Chains A and B, each alone.
Chain A
Amino acid sequence: MVQYAAPGQPGSVVTYRDRYDHFIGGEYVPPAKGEYFANPTPVTGAEFTEIARGTAEDVELALDAAHGAARAWGKTSVADRANVLNKIADRIEANLEALAVAETWENGKPIRETLAADLPLAVDHFRYFAGVIRAQEGGISQIDEDLVAYHFQEPLGVVGQIIPWNFPILMAVWKLAPALAAGNAVVLKPAEQTPASIHVLMELIADLLPPGVVNVVNGFGVEAGKPLASSRRVAKVAFTGETTTGRLIMQYASENIIPVTLELGGKSPNVFFADVASERDAFYDKALEGFTMFALNQGEVCTCPSRALIQSSIYSDFLSDAVSRTRAVKQGHPLDTETMIGAQASNDQLEKILSYIDIGKQEGARVLTGGERADLGGELSGGYYVTPTVFEGDNKMRIFQEEIFGPVVAVTSFDSYDDALKISNDTLYGLGAGVWSRDGSVAYRAGRDIQAGRVWVNNYHAYPAHAAFGGYKQSGIGRENHRVMLDHYQQTKNLLVSYSPNALGFF
């Protein structure tokens, strides 16, 4: 066991500043109104830094900087931009441990996840888009012998990005890498629950980017996010969050006639067919781990496998083993390398999870394990911890239909393939799903029949760059984490060129 020292403590690999201003035009700029808000760590509930409380004035300043930089950045060669992205990746990699500790302190997630997933994925994401932009080609369409259509990709210009709090650095990188690769300048607003770790990253990479290409304005959604999302000076808005804010952002975008990409959550089914339990072997063990993935990142993942569907013939035994596996999840100090589940990201998130556990019980769902706030003692008593919770119930219950965004899975059984698909698709959302079977054709068919943008087959919660990620139904618009995201950050310019020396003969 290793426990990392908290940021700023003796022996720590990272220190937060006492205060963060906005990052605008390559430097730190105080908020126009001079106000700051305190930022607590969910690990202990204690405040550790204060953050600029941005307003429309700050957003305008950031947009000025971005517009000042966008043209030149958009004209750089793809080789130059790819080099910048690769250098950013190298810089993150060289400081991976410091960023991981900073991220864990900010968000509450276990250090083993930030070390093994959040930061390595961020590194790879920059490298992926550095490669992709070098390989992108335009198109040529020969309309006839003398008429040729040339298609070029051009950057949109200045884009707005609003980042969620569940993977503060990685979700920023998912949006930054394609936008920068495509040649856009960015104004980015981090979530107000996790506003600080992005600045640890920005300080590390600021010298690699021309001033104004990336600008970070902090603040509350209504005060800083809204002016950004509704601005006439952005060419596109990218948002990860929930449905009502997603609709509001689309409304603003409709006023400005600009595109949006939205990632709005899910209620992902994780389907276990009977043949999973035909042997007690490595695959069975893997499937049990797949069930327990609902506890990854404290369940604060848009694709949390929060509905487990188990075929009735194996239901009792598999569920019993799955509950045992869940009880073995080690909850503890997020900076301890053995900790598997850390703190929920904020107090209101904790309260919301507890309110859902309450309605689950009222609706008659049975708690098989967990179901309560955890007091881990000492300094952690002030933090926001929930025990991994397994509910057994019916798909019509609200805990089966709403995204709790906590370590809570709702389990039910199914009899047939058709039954499994009916339950899987009986949801407003379609972001993620899991299918587990030893029969390749069953797994394939189920994977195709489930209405979700990402179906994991015999695995779960992998997020490699080069695998498109995004939602069907009310889970949003667009595909991140893949080359296709470049299309969401580019215009298509068509030059239609005539090589004929002769008039048409019309006039």
Chain B
Amino acid sequence: MARVALTPEAAELLRRLRASHGDLMFHQSGGCCDGSAPMCYPAGEFRTGTSDVHLGDLEVDSFVVPVWMSAAQFEYWSHTHLTIDVVPGRGSGFSLEAPLGMRFLVRSRLLEVGDH
């Protein structure tokens, strides 16, 4: 089942970030301020573990970007499909895109039969 997808604008930003930082990963954040947003890191920068769920891999050209979320958070998100988009913005915790004046954003829709 495809749980995650990417807009063309977000894919283009990932190409730029990969050129500067190498392989990438996402971890969906919860909580306040810059939270409830996908954080993009160099692959392996954020250590996932048994308390995380691998939602899927985003394919951009020849590289893939895995998307992770904490298992506890996934219990509340599991019925929704996530599309990672990008908007002009600023803050992002330690996410890689902020210095470019962009911010990744999750757009959600309910999972449908066709997603299975």
Check if A and B associate.
yes
Name the interface residues of A222-249: CB closer than 8 Å to any CB of B: 222-223, 225-226, 229, 240-248
B90: contacting residue among A192, A302, A475, CB under 8 A: A192
The verdict on A265 contacting B98 (CB below 8 Å), with A244-B27, A251-B46, A359-B80 known, is no
Is B94 a contact partner of A351 (Cβ separation < 8 A)? no
Is A222 a contact partner of B96 (Cβ separation < 8 A)? yes
Is B29 a contact partner of A242 (Cβ separation < 8 A)? yes
- Pick out which of these stretches binds chain B: A59-67, A332-340, A401-409, A456-464: A401-409
Judge if B8 is at the interface, Cβ distance under 8 Å: no
Report the minimum CB–CB distance from A254 to chain B (whole Å): 9
Please measure, in the bound complex, the distance between the C-alpha atom of A414 and the C-alpha atom of B92, giving whole angstroms: 36
Please measure, in the bound complex, the distance between the C-alpha atom of A403 and the C-alpha atom of B34, giving whole angstroms: 10
B105: contacting residue among A265, A352, A474, A475, CB under 8 A: A352
Give the residues in chain A near B28, CB-CB below 8 Å: 244
Q: Please report the total number of A residues contacting B with Cβ < 8 Å.
A: 52
The verdict on A428 contacting B72 (CB below 8 Å), with A222-B99, A244-B27, A265-B32 known, is yes
**Per-position contact with B for A453-488: 1 when CB-CB < 8 Å, else 0?**
000000000000000000000110000000000000
- Closest residue of chain A to B29 (Cβ to Cβ) is A244
Please measure, in the bound complex, the distance between the C-alpha atom of A99 and the C-alpha atom of B31, giving whole angstroms: 28
The verdict on A225 contacting B108 (CB below 8 Å), with A242-B31, A352-B37 known, is no
**Per-position contact with B for A244-281: 1 when CB-CB < 8 Å, else 0?**
11111001000000000000111000000000000000
Is A348 a contact partner of B90 (Cβ separation < 8 A)? yes
Is A242 a contact partner of B35 (Cβ separation < 8 A)? yes
Judge if B56 is at the interface, Cβ distance under 8 Å: no
- Closest residue of chain A to B91 (Cβ to Cβ) is A193
A265: contacting residue among B33, B45, B46, B80, CB under 8 A: B33
Is A192 a contact partner of B98 (Cβ separation < 8 A)? yes
Is A429 a contact partner of B88 (Cβ separation < 8 A)? no
The verdict on A429 contacting B31 (CB below 8 Å), with A247-B46, A359-B80, A402-B76 known, is yes
Judge if A356 is at the interface, Cβ distance under 8 Å: yes
**Per-position contact with A for B73-90: 1 when CB-CB < 8 Å, else 0?**
100110010000001111
Give the residues in chain A near B89, CB-CB below 8 Å: 346-349, 351
Please measure, in the bound complex, the distance between the C-alpha atom of A23 and the C-alpha atom of B66, giving whole angstroms: 39
Report the minimum CB–CB distance from A349 to chain B (whole Å): 8
Judge if B22 is at the interface, Cβ distance under 8 Å: no
Judge if B107 is at the interface, Cβ distance under 8 Å: yes
Is B33 a contact partner of A405 (Cβ separation < 8 A)? yes
Judge if B60 is at the interface, Cβ distance under 8 Å: no
Name the interface residues of B1-59: CB closer than 8 Å to any CB of A: 27-37, 39, 41, 45-47
Please measure, in the bound complex, the distance between the C-alpha atom of A346 and the C-alpha atom of B87, giving whole angstroms: 11
- Closest residue of chain A to B42 (Cβ to Cβ) is A222
Report the minimum CB–CB distance from A239 to chain B (whole Å): 9
- Closest residue of chain A to B68 (Cβ to Cβ) is A244
Judge if B116 is at the interface, Cβ distance under 8 Å: no
Is A403 a contact partner of B32 (Cβ separation < 8 A)? yes
Is B35 a contact partner of A403 (Cβ separation < 8 A)? yes
Is A221 a contact partner of B35 (Cβ separation < 8 A)? no
Report the minimum CB–CB distance from A218 to chain B (whole Å): 12
**Per-position contact with B for A22-59: 1 when CB-CB < 8 Å, else 0?**
00000000000000010000000000000001000000
The verdict on A474 contacting B91 (CB below 8 Å), with A398-B76, A403-B36, A428-B76 known, is no
Please measure, in the bound complex, the distance between the C-alpha atom of A247 and the C-alpha atom of B72, giving whole angstroms: 14
**Per-position contact with B for A338-375: 1 when CB-CB < 8 Å, else 0?**
00000000111101100110110011000000000000
Is A245 a contact partner of B94 (Cβ separation < 8 A)? yes
Please measure, in the bound complex, the distance between the C-alpha atom of A248 and the C-alpha atom of B93, giving whole angstroms: 10
Judge if A385 is at the interface, Cβ distance under 8 Å: no
Judge if A86 is at the interface, Cβ distance under 8 Å: no
Judge if A166 is at the interface, Cβ distance under 8 Å: yes
Is B39 a contact partner of A245 (Cβ separation < 8 A)? yes
Judge if A88 is at the interface, Cβ distance under 8 Å: no
Please measure, in the bound complex, the distance between the C-alpha atom of A404 and the C-alpha atom of B39, giving whole angstroms: 16
B39: contacting residue among A37, A244, A347, CB under 8 A: A244
Report the minimum CB–CB distance from B89 to chain A (whole Å): 3
The verdict on A240 contacting B73 (CB below 8 Å), with A348-B88, A348-B105, A351-B89 known, is no
Judge if A493 is at the interface, Cβ distance under 8 Å: no
Report the minimum CB–CB distance from B39 to chain A (whole Å): 5
Please measure, in the bound complex, the distance between the C-alpha atom of A429 and the C-alpha atom of B103, giving whole angstroms: 25
B87: contacting residue among A191, A266, A351, A404, CB under 8 A: A351
Q: Which 3 A-B pairs have the closest CB atoms?
A: A242-B35, A348-B89, A265-B32
A-B contacts, 5 listed (Cβ < 8 Å): A192-B98, A222-B98, A244-B29, A355-B107, A398-B77
